[in-house]
Structure 1
Amino acid sequence: MKLKKYPWLLAGIITAIIFLTITFFRHENVYAGGVITSGDLMTQYTSFFQYFRHVILGNHSDFAYSFSNGLGGSMIGNWAYYLLSPLNFIVLLFPASKITIALYTIIWIKVMLAAGSFCYAIQKLTKLTSTLAITVSISYALSSYTIFYMGNLMWLDAIIFLPLLILLTHKFAVGRQKPIYSIILAITILANYYTSYMIGLFLIAYFIYISFLKFKTWKRFLKNLAYFVLYSISGVLLTLFIELPTLLNLKETKLSTHYAITNYSIPKLLFNLPSNMLFGASNTQLPLIYTGSLVLLLTIAYFFNIHIQIREKLATLALLLFTCSGLLSNKLYVLWHAGQPPQSYPFRFAFILNFLFILVACYQLAKQQLTKRQVELTTIILGILFIISAYIRHKNSINLAWIISSVCWILIATVTYWFYTKKKINSIWLLIITILEISLNAIFSWHSVIPSSYENYTVETQNLINKLPATAKNSRLEKNFLINQNRGESYTFNYRKLSNFLCK
């Protein structure tokens, strides 16, 4: 099999290698002795997946019960939110003491699949060449959202399935229905109902967007809409066996508790946003929408492309505004988060923004045209964004090297793309600069204290438990020392614990 015939596969392999390299230099490559410090991997997921192994490997009676979850409350909501991803079976291939390696492997495979699915979908949507498709796929799979939130691995399924659902939604909008849409939608919902809700909002908007651009007659539009709605409902119905009990469970727990709405300052947010769009983006309190300087350049250039109809550009702008609506209104921010403002990790729908920015960049890239007028206007916009970013970063005492690096990567991306459009260099150079920029940003924008090794901790704790008398092991035990708030240790070390699970 020749890889060049399967660019989506090559995109996955290249992304996998880059991810291993990035996490190695960030001391997060678990294969090399690192520890993932982003997201809630060490504070929640070690517990959840130890419980997952415990239930699947024979203790089926514990599927819907936890002693510390409401003194016997249902666990169905936790399964639906955390544990139904199709790739979770990988955990079963590792012993309990190697749970962090298992979770890292899942993340690694998901990032690889995200690149592959985007590459496959974008070639169908825009007819990009293989090299260009691989280039933008790497930007998508290794965006700042993925890098900083990879520890929340249940959100990564949405990044995998979103490109495929968009491709199938596009087919519905032009009258080519694909029944597999219902199945992929159902898998997306089962993997994580929370992010699938966000995807659902975007799919509706995207269907309207393509229907507008491809509109011929009202009769045809209504027919396509009917099929889209029918297959969407079918996909939802396939998940009711788990989502209906989950909804009832949520009504008794999270949905019965009303958190204060986060009243962030919209003007301040929008003013600070450019600092998270350029090289050096690392502010997790802002939307994580960094996808590389080349994508940013192409996205802006699209709106100044004279070969693209005004009607199309206005429709694309409307889609962008809809997707960015959570940044423009506190109420819409809450709406994008399913009615409950997140208590941490704000702007969780940013992965959809990243997808749309790259999609628009691909529209520009497919034209392979760049006029002097485009360069002038795009440079002005990029200059304004850079000045704002430099001010914000200086205000926040960001190293001067980051500010200089930002403008350097913008210039490199602009010059490289200009020469590419003039056919003076090959598209491979766009791939090379994208890999370098995305990788360096991921490596050097991360600052964290490396926690203790989970594997070392399990060895030390197991030795301690082995020294206990046999009579003690027949009783319930409780430890007052933990690593990273892990509450699933009874499943790791096979002892009876008083409070054997923590529900967050």
Structure 2
Amino acid sequence: MPPAAEPEVAPEPQVTPVLAPGSASEPRPSRPSRGSRPRLRAAAGAALLTGVLFCLAGRLAGSYPFGTRTRNIVDLGQQYLPFHAYWRDLLLGRTHGDLFLNWSSGFGTNFLGDFGTYLSSPFDLLVVLFPADRPELALYAVTALKIATAGAAMAALLLTLRRGPWPVAAILGTAYALSGWTFNYGATVPMWLDGLVAFPLLCLVGEWARKGRRPVLGPLVVALAWCANFYTAYMATIGAAVVLVVRLLTTDDTATATTSTSIKPTFEAAGRPRFLALLRAARSVLLGIGLAAPLVIVIFLGTKAADPTPPTAFVAAAWSDVAARFLPATASVATPALFIGTPALALALTLPFNSAVAGRVRAGWITAIALVTLSLQWEPTHLLWHAGASPNGIPYRQTFVLCGLLLMAAWLSVAGGPPRPRALLGGTGALGLLALAAAGSVDIDRWTYPAVAGAVALGVLAAAAALLARARPVGRLLPVLAVVLLLAAQAGETLVTGKRIEEQQLSEVSWAPRVGPWHTDMARAVAEKDAWPRHRTDPGEVPGGNDVLLVGGEGADYYSSLTSDTYSRTLTGLGFGYYAKGRHPVSLDNPVTDAIFSIGTRMRSTPRGPLALDRLPEATITVTDTPVPPLVTVHPAGAPAPAGSSDSAFARQERMLGRAVYEVPAGPRRTTAPDGAGTTLTARCPAGSDVWLWAPEYQGTAALAGSPSATSTFAGKLPSVVAPMQRLGTVPADGTVRIDLRPEPKAGPRQKLPANPVGCLDRQRLADTVRDLTATGATAVRATGHTLTADLPAGSTGTAVVAVPRTRGWRCAAGDAPLAPADSRLGLLAVPLDGRATSVTCSFRPPGVKLGGAVGAAALLGLLATALPHRRRRTGRVHPSAGRQEFTARAHPARSTE
């Protein structure tokens, strides 16, 4: 007969006599209790094991820093690496901006929103410990430390839920930290790893609320989680709420709000304590989110103002694919990454069959896991998990919560001892059915089933050793052997999974090379030429994206989830290109836009070879200095638009510049190439002018007839990519312009071109315009952290235009007038002038700072209002002035298996 389930009821308190201060029986200063030692050991063991396995998986995959292959896939190389490099410089005082404003990216952007989205985790402060030319190593260390901390937090949580053998808790904590979600998503999106850490910590907050403990620390933990990354903290909060509800329904040791021992009706005895626990948990969450409001509100408003991505319709994954993602060595961004290791999964599947666990405990956890699993596949709950908006890209970002629930179920089934053979057979059978259901999935890798077979074999040996030790408890050899075999099974699968996921990602998604001589040479060149705020220095295209964050300077390149819609639309209208559906505008090498945005120094790179996964990139860098107007120019009031303007990028550039500098042929003649594989555009322009082609949707090549060696490639692919305008060459002496277009075959035979795709730039007109704007523009420009001030010639009238995008948060004034929300002129900051002011000032304050500060202050007052009564109650119980000291002795808990 199986042993009875371990009761979930706390031991009945025993009241001891009142003791006088100083008596022999007076409690001594608190020291770590024996019950906390297993948690510390499990947490330390999980952290160490997690770190070692994560590094070994990278070594097996041959990726940096243990190999030569790059890890910089997709956003890891284009967002997180550059942001962390810039964060290091900001912390060390080596940037032009401050926490409010980033002068380097996007011609001036809201940095507080980016900080709260990408860099507000305490772990990110570690970047200052690494050299400036090792940002990848710094980011890897931050990533590994977050993952190890997640394993430690889960191990500690498991032993809080129920006592048991700490080595097993450490192994299961590692299984959580190195789940398929971590390898497939979290390791390459480091900001999401803060949610991985937050989930077990928020579950601990729920436990404290359930038992009426730590009313101050609880909100602080919530605040830390939401500040570190509010997006995944939101998901972790939902998951922690599920765990709290299950615990309230399946345990009887929930704390009451009073010390009364009178007998109450059933609802009073059971329902009221649970209701009060929910209130305590809600208080902790609300106060914690309130404390995080100065960041959360700024991010929320920044998201509202961001360039909108196209709507995404959620499509549930096939159940065979869902089943496959429980297995090792599977990778996909379209299905939920549910791998936690075959032994851990088998233990979780034994819970329904494990009669040694109380029936209501089994029912509660099985129901919770089933409902959360179904919620991944139903659109209304999918939207709930993602705060009401179906994300672009990975649709199953909340999967780490389900991984955690499965590991809690595994722990509850094994904590009291190895499950009986019947339960083990039931779990193994369920695992077999799951593997069979996954057989037809496209996500199955050639390593999947061999890895499962090896793990099952080791798991069976571990179970046999544990059962023998239970039947013949004559030593520690068998229990130790069981743990070692379990560890080997989990670790082996984890290493295979980590290795294969890295290899599959590099073969299937875009990547950037490692930081190398190209970057360091460019950073050195930019530092030598940087003249901010006299004019901007643009480093141009550097591998990885977000170039100015990596190498310095001030340019258009900027990639963030908070890229302003105003900024993106303004630049696209001027002929700039973008990636990431508008959220990654890139630099445009064009003399007219250089004049508009005061880019006086431009770097150009010529790669010395093709980019490779395992080789550092190198390039030859050239530097070009060009006279440009200052950052602040003065435009006459009511100046007419240049003659011949139309709704084209060339016309918009002219309107922003204030002069006509292009000849734009109306409707170039289009003829099909003799071989039918392309199109020729024919137009007439002044001889000697520069030919520019604006074809944002075009995918293919373009070249001036007679100059096939000067072929330009366009990569437009709406809605993801818009191609920038490009210079094709010089108009020949006869004034005839013929452009040969060769579309990519996969792009289709017909590609839409604008009505006026060709513009011919007159360099002399542009030079005259620059000279005039410089003569009437600012005589001096000063820039501090988030403020720019310019001195103007006396008597300036019309409009002062600041070469900074007019996004929300900018306030400007002329002379000594108070700052007010800035005007806009064609998307740039504008300040009206009346002839009396001799200076203009513009300052940026992130939208939501004041509101967030007010909410945070109110939450802080609420936390103090919670802390003071709690402190009085504690002091009242032990205060020496009472003449006597009272305390309630608790029965010593049974020693856990160690």
After TM superposition, the score normalised by the length of structure 2 is 0.51
- Residue 356 of structure 2, aligned match among 307, 325, 338: 307
For residues 371-386 of structure 1, what are the structure 2 equivalents within 5 Å?
371-386=420-435
Question: Gaps spanning 5+ residues in structure 2: where?
Answer: 1-36, 253-268, 470-477, 562-898
> Hey, which of these two has a bigger chunk of helix by percent?
1
2: CA distance, partners of 1:470 / 1:60: 11
Is 1:458 the counterpart of 2:514 in the alignment? no
Q: Alpha-carbon deviation of 1:32? A: 4.9
Residues 24 and 34, structure 1, Cα contact 8 Å, conserved in 2: no
Distance 1:54 1:350 in 2: 34
Q: Greater CA deviation, 223-232 or 189-198?
A: 223-232
- Separation in structure 2 between the aligned mates of residue 479 and residue 206 of structure 1, nearest angstrom: 50
Match of 2:466 in 1: 420
User: Paired residue for 1:338?
Assistant: 387
2:492 is aligned with 1:436 = yes
Closer/same/farther in 2, CA of residues 57 and 501 from structure 1, 3 Å limit: farther
116-125 vs 359-368, which moves further: 116-125
Tell me, in whole angstroms, the C-alpha distance in 1 between the residues paired with 2:404 and 2:393: 22
Alignment of 1:53-64 (within 5 A): 53-58=88-93, 59=95, 61-64=97-100
Measured after TM superposition, the shift of residue 113 of structure 1 is 1.3
* Residue aligning to 1:368: 417
* CA 1:335–1:78: 2 relative to 1, 3 Å: same
Is the aligned partner of 1:144 residue 2:180? Answer: yes
Assess if the C-alpha contact under 8 Å between 2:341 and 2:490 holds in 1.
yes
Aligned to 2:314: 263
2:297 pairs with 1:244? yes
Q: Is residue 2:202 matched to residue 1:165?
A: yes
1:241-294 Cα distance to aligned partner (Å, 9 max, x none): 22223323333336xx4753433145x2x2211111112222332111101001
Closer, same or farther in 2 for the Cα pair 1:244/1:290, shift >3 Å? same
The answer for the alignment partner of 2:281 in structure 1 is 228
Distance 1:470 1:235 in 2: 43
Indicate the residue corresponding to 2:786 in structure 1: none
Superposition pairs for residues 93-132 of structure 1, below 5 Å? Answer: 93-132=129-168
CA distance in 1, matches of 2:171, 2:213: 28
Residues 1:134 and 2:170 aligned together: yes
Once the two structures are TM-superposed, the CA of residue 167 in structure 1 deviates from its matched residue by 2.0
Cα distance in 2, alignment partners of residues 473 and 63 from structure 1: 18
CA contact (8 A) 1:20 1:29 kept: no
Q: CA, structure 1 residues 79+326, in 2 after alignment: closer, same or farther (shift >3 Å)?
A: farther
Judge conservation of contact 2:345–2:406 (CA < 8 Å) in 1. Answer: yes
Matches within 5 A, 1:177-192: 177-192=214-229
The whole-number CA distance in structure 2 between the counterparts of 1:437 and 1:327 is 25
* Residue 33 of structure 1: how far off its partner (Å): 4.5
On the 8 A contact 2:46/2:152 being kept in 1, the answer is yes
1:437 Cα deviation after fit = 1.9
SS at match of 2:239: helix
Q: Output one character per residue of 1:180-213: Cα deviation in whole Å (capped at 9) or x when no partner.
A: 1111110000000101111121222222211111
CA contact 1:300–1:378 (8 Å) conserved in 2? yes
Distance 1:50 1:109, change over 3 A: same
Distance change >3 Å, CA 251–CA 459, structure 1 → 2: closer
Give the count of matched residue pairs: 491
Task: Please give the alpha-carbon distance, in whole angstroms, between the structure 1 residues aligned to 2:208 and 2:440.
Answer: 44
1:90 to 2:126 alignment: yes
Which residue identity is paired with 1:137?
G
Q: 1:389 aligns with which of 431, 438, 443?
A: 438
Change (3 A) 1:65 1:432: same
Counterpart amino acid of residue 544 in structure 2 = N
Q: Which has the higher contact order (CA 8 A, sep 6+)?
A: 1
Query: Partner residue of 1:498?
Result: 555
Are the aligned partners of 2:51 and 2:145 in contact in 1 as well (CA < 8 Å)?
yes
Letter in 1 for 2:555: L
**Which stretch of the first structure deviates more once superposed, 130-139 or 373-382?**
373-382
Distance 1:397 1:236, change over 3 A: closer
Distance in 2 between residues matched to 1:31 and 1:436, nearest whole Å: 19
The 1:338–1:60 alpha-carbon spacing in structure 2 relative to 1, beyond 3 Å, is farther
Work out the CA distance in 1 between the residues paired with 2:305 and 2:341.
43
Q: 2:398 aligns with which of 342, 345, 349?
A: 349
Deviations 1:204-224 (A, max 9, x none): 222221111125522222222
1:477 alignment partner, SS class: strand
What is the CA–CA distance in structure 1 between the aligned matches of 2:280 and 2:531, rounded to whole Å?
64
CA distance in 2, matches of 1:67, 1:321: 49
**Does the CA contact (< 8 Å) of 1:186 and 1:236 recur in 2?**
yes
Mapping for residues 273-352 of structure 1, pairs under 5 Å:
273-352=322-401
Aligned-pair CA distance for 1:132: 0.8
Distance 1:390 1:305 in 2: 28
Q: Which has the larger Rg?
A: 2
Measured in 1, the distance between the counterparts of 2:203 and 2:149 equals: 16
AA partner of residue 9 (structure 1) = A
Q: Map Cα deviations across residues 85-124 of structure 1 (whole Å, 9 max, x no partner).
A: 1111111223332211111111111122122222222222
Deviates more, 1:354-363 or 1:217-226: 217-226
Residue-by-residue CA offset, 1:452-474 (whole Å, 9 max, x unaligned): 331343234346658x8799997
Identify unmatched segments of 5+ residues in structure 1: none
* Shift in CA distance, 189/213, structure 1 to aligned 2, threshold 3 Å: same
Rounded to whole Å, the distance in 2 between the matches of 1:65 and 1:464 is: 24
* One-letter identity of the residue aligned with 1:230: R
Mapped to 1, the partners of 2:146 and 2:530 lie a distance apart of 42
Alignment of 1:35-46 (within 5 A): 35-38=70-73, 40-46=75-81
For 2:297, give the aligned amino acid: L
| 1:208 counterpart = 2:269 | no
Q: Comparing 79-88 with 381-390, which one deviates more in the overlay?
A: 381-390
Of 413-422 and 20-29, more deviation after overlay is shown by: 413-422
TM-score (norm 1): 0.88
Distance in 2 between residues matched to 1:21 and 1:249, nearest whole Å: 39
For 2:524 and 2:90, the matched residues in 1 are separated by 25
Question: Is the 1:8–1:116 Cα contact (8 Å) retained in structure 2?
Answer: yes
CA distance in 1, matches of 2:188, 2:282: 34
Q: 1:430 to 1:31 in 2, by over 3 A?
A: closer
Contact 2:349 2:428 in 1 (8 A): no
Cα 1:91–1:332 change in 2 (3 A) is: same
Contact 2:151 2:174 in 1 (8 A): yes
